[in-house]
Structure 1
């Protein structure tokens, strides 16, 4: 295979993944079709199955890659914080970018729902969530928190919960949530000691 055909293949694959990430929030996981992905990517439907074993394999890879990108930005941002309170404030302030109906929020919701019926997707998303929890736990431990693993689990669940609820009740911003989250994390730390 020539370098040009390899590059074209990579480009088609990237376009298919990007099209899937765009279509999942727009249409819903189950409404995305081979044809809709191919049309959005500007390729023939046969290329979807040339690059991926199935439409579900394409959707899985697209969502796992997109979620990995979103989650990978959390720890570097936390590491910029000078202390635990500043890190928690930063984490909560980042939530203001998501209103619950934005593409990233809808992608996460659709992926979580699809994972209830797709064991491979569930395992891959669980691995990502586990990685986030470990990173949060390490960051909490570095800042002297006494129960980093349990707190990281609660913190990740709280962030997910806020994002999920915002689609229905978009009334809580960073200014309201940050003090509550700080008290929760501090309380969990005090109870562990």
Structure 2
């Protein structure tokens, strides 16, 4: 499996400057680019909710890579991604994130022994705040999503996530924007 080796050590290590990290950029990209439209819409909604509603509470704790990893794990559990169950899939993503925060552990998709939450979510208070917000989101995903103002830049213009998810773009535009997001 192709991977990159980066001169990035663990931030809490005494020998951080001597350590290296594996990055599976190409396999990850290949997996994401093979997602269907429902999986991508799920990711867009999931990311939008987290960026708009969790980031202001804890901007350094949960990032896009965590969200992509959760979607990869969820893709192993769900065989048939149907549009009618999109909200259910978003709720499953939120549930997976909730459990990972509670445990303080999210396994890397390719390097499973690596905890992506290592060095994050250090206080019980922070975990509790994030978990409470996730529970609140799960109760009314659609309403919260429609209130979000998150936009993706494409060319010199911005496309709202609602427009992207509604699929009011041509098929070519939709996939172009989605590949930029992923």
Q: What TM-score range do you get, normalising by the shorter chain? A: under 0.3
TM-score (norm: length of structure 1): 0.25
Structure with a larger share of its residues in strand: 2
Scaled by the length of structure 2, the TM-score of the pair is 0.26
